[in-house]
Amino acid sequence: MIMRSRPTTRGLAVVLLVAATAACQAETPTGPTGRPAAPPPARGFTLVASGDVLPHDSVIERARTDAGGAGYDFRPMLAGIAPVVSRADLALCHMETVYGADGDYSGYPAFKSPPQIAQALADTGYDGCSTASNHTLDDGAAGIHRTLDALDRAGVRHAGSARTAKEAGAVTLLRAGGAEVAHLSYTYDTNGYPLPAGQPWAVNLIDENRIVADARAARRAGADVVAVSLHWGTEWQDEPDGTQLALAGRLTASHAADGRPDLDLILGTHAHVPQAYEKVNGTWVIYGMGDQIAGGMTNHERLPDPRGNQGTLGRFTFSPPARAGGRWEVTRAEFVPQMYDLDAGRVVNLNEALARGTGVGAVRDRIRDVVLSRGAAQDGLTMGK
């Protein structure tokens, strides 16, 4: 063991004084007058979010074909939307299914997707995904573990399900521009599958009081912006249902003691069809983004329904607050219409496809009409590219 002599009291004081002076000079930049320079202004950011990733058997087979029969490659089917996703400061997806292993993969009704989709999401530009859905317990706790393990390996953050109680209690914080963004995720149900024994924290279920409490905990953990993913609504219904409208109204009306809203953005999934965007109590709500990836879908009348392969990406530009502790405001709100082409096995940006002369105008216009059906255009929502 190496022993070092202790400095005298006077010597120690000199050392501390020199160190403190050097630290001040190093850490406190000065302006031309010699006064401390003002800190650089916080930088705004763009957030992009998209709907359900729901790989049916046909989607899994397409990924196997795209990989040349050796493994599964989901990157080609997402390539058409990658420019929109990758340009965002923060991009969030909704991973509706859990992952299988060693070739044990399946579609509806109990989904087990190839884990290679996690890397495809990362390569497309997604930074995080919500994972609370009615299919989160399709393969019990083992499915949750495999899914979150694969997302971790791909570097994709996640919120909504957990492997441990500690993980369930942690806040998912993502850096975007000059802000810390908290991502929370909840589902209305798990298709009747019970929570794993002794693991009541495995999947986040929608509970208004808990969502507010979690949002406030996220603020205490340093979140400047709180985005909440809700797996909710009535399948195949273009209009948000009463439960969605009521819960959105209450959540967006919830404020902290200083008057700051508890939530800054609500991102809805589950209905399988695009639903409206609306500004509620000053906060943007997407009731339903529709499906981003899904196989051929049949509705409640057991009829093929092309709406099940239509969706939107929401894109929101946040600007920093005018005063310390204020709200980060959405200064630009956009939606990008998209669809999953069943024949090609590709996600299509409908505005880009229309510009190339393809006959998708009617689909694009239908999505636009639904998105704007609750007056979002009057609040500044526009269709992006």
Nearest CA-CA partner of 225 in 270, 175, 268: 175
CB 134, CB 190: distance < 8 Å = yes
Q: Report the Cα 118 to chain-centroid distance in Å.
A: 14
Please check the confidence at residue 3 and state whether its pLDDT lies above 60. Answer: no
Which pair of tokens denotes residue 82?
């990658």
Pairwise CA distance, residues 12 & 188, whole Å:
62
Average pLDDT in the 289-309 region? 96
Phi, psi dihedrals of residue 238, rounded to the nearest 5°: -65, -35
**Overall size of the chain counted in residues:** 385
Which pair of tokens denotes residue 242?
């009463």
Pairwise CA distance, residues 302 & 289, whole Å:
22
Element (H, E) at 192: none
**How many CA atoms are closer than 13 Å to the CA of 223, on its beta-carbon side?**
27
pLDDT in tens, 135-151: 999 999 999 999 999 99
Which pLDDT score is estimated for 199? 98
Pairwise CA distance, residues 82 & 313, whole Å:
11
Which pair of tokens denotes residue 73?
């490659």
Provide the mean pLDDT of the chain.
91
Q: Is the peptide bond before 109 cis (omega within 30 degrees of 0)?
A: yes
Average pLDDT in the 220-245 region? 98
Pairwise CA distance, residues 263 & 225, whole Å:
7
Please check the confidence at residue 117 and state whether its pLDDT lies above 50. Answer: yes
Q: Are strands 277-280 and 283-286 parallel, antiparallel or unpaired?
A: antiparallel
Higher local confidence (pLDDT), 236 or 10 = 236
Tokens 């929101």 correspond to 316
Give the least confident one: 26-35, 60-69, 194-203: 26-35
CB 158, CB 199: distance < 8 Å = no
Other beta carbons within 10 angstroms of residue 339's beta carbon come to: 27
Pairwise CA distance, residues 274 & 237, whole Å:
9
Which pair of tokens denotes residue 361?
């105008």
Which pLDDT score is estimated for 191? 97
Average pLDDT in the 251-277 region? 97
- The alpha helices in the chain, defined as continuous H runs, are 9-27, 57-66, 75-78, 82-86, 116-124, 140-154, 165-169, 208-220, 242-253, 350-355, 361-371
Other beta carbons within 10 angstroms of residue 101's beta carbon come to: 15
What are the chain's domains? 45-374 (3.60.21.10)
Pairwise CA distance, residues 370 & 367, whole Å:
5
CB 183, CB 157: distance < 8 Å = yes
pLDDT in tens, 32-87: 556 666 556 679 999 999 999 999 999 999 999 999 988 999 999 999 999 999 99
Most distant pair of Cα atoms in the chain: their distance: 87
pLDDT in tens, 349-382: 999 999 998 889 999 999 999 999 999 999 999 9
Pairwise CA distance, residues 140 & 136, whole Å:
8
Which pLDDT score is estimated for 324? 85
Which pLDDT score is estimated for 225? 98
pTM of the model: 0.90
Please check the confidence at residue 251 and state whether its pLDDT lies above 70. Answer: yes
DSSP, collapsed to helix, strand or coil, labels residue 164 as coil
Percentage of residues in the chain having pLDDT higher than 70: 89
Please check the confidence at residue 384 and state whether its pLDDT lies above 60. Answer: yes
Pairwise CA distance, residues 67 & 7, whole Å:
67
